[in-house]
Amino acid sequence: MLFDKIEEKDVTKAIVEGFSAMLSEHTENDVIIVGGGPSGLVAGRELAKKGVKTLIVERNNYLGGGFWIGGYLMNKITVRAPGNTVLDEIGVPYEEYIKGLYVTDGPHACSKLIGAACDAGVKILNMTKVDDVVLREKNRVAGVVINWTPVSALPREITCVDPVSLQSKVVIDATGHDAEVVKSLVSRGFMKAKGFGAMWVEKSEDAIVEYTGEAYPGLIVSGMAVSTVYGLPRMGPTFGAMLLSGKKAADAALDILNEQ
Ligand code: 48H
Q: Ligand 1: does its nearest atom lie under 6 Å from the Cβ of 247?
A: no
Q: Which long-range contacts does 146-149 make (Cβ < 8 Å, 24+ apart)?
A: 146/57, 149/59, 149/60
Q: Could you tell me which of 260, 259, 249 has the C-alpha nearest to residue 54?
A: 249
Quick one: pLDDT at residue 160?
A: 80
- How much distance in Å is there from the Cα of 98 to the middle of ligand 1? 27
Confirm if 210 and 173 have CB atoms less than 8 A apart.
no
Per-residue pLDDT of the chain (260 residues; tens, 9 = 90+): 999 999 999 999 999 999 999 999 999 999 999 999 999 999 999 999 999 999 999 999 999 999 999 999 999 999 999 999 999 999 999 999 999 999 999 999 999 999 999 999 999 999 999 999 999 999 999 999 999 998 877 776 677 889 999 999 999 999 999 999 999 999 999 999 999 999 999 999 999 999 999 999 999 999 999 999 999 999 999 999 999 999 999 999 999 999 98
Q: Ligand 1: does its nearest atom lie under 6 Å from the Cβ of 173?
A: no
The best mutation among 59, 186, 222, 238 to test binding of ligand 1, ranked by most ligand atoms within 8 Å of the C-beta, falls on 59
In order, the DSSP letters of 196-217 are -EEE-HHHHHHHHHHH-EEEET
Q: Ligand 1: does its nearest atom lie under 6 Å from the Cβ of 171?
A: no
pTM: 0.98
Quick one: pLDDT at residue 153?
A: 73
Quick one: pLDDT at residue 141?
A: 98
Q: Ligand 1: does its nearest atom lie under 6 Å from the Cβ of 70?
A: no
The best mutation among 78, 131, 175, 211 to test binding of ligand 1, ranked by most ligand atoms within 8 Å of the C-beta, falls on 175
Domain boundaries, the chain: 30-259
Q: Ligand 1: does its nearest atom lie under 6 Å from the Cβ of 77?
A: no
CATH number, domain 30-259: 3.50.50.60
Quick one: pLDDT at residue 82?
A: 98
Quick one: pLDDT at residue 158?
A: 72
Cα–Cα distance for residue pair 238/148, rounded to 1 Å: 31
Q: Ligand 1: does its nearest atom lie under 6 Å from the Cβ of 109?
A: no
Supply the residue whose CA is at minimum distance from atom 9 of ligand 1. 176
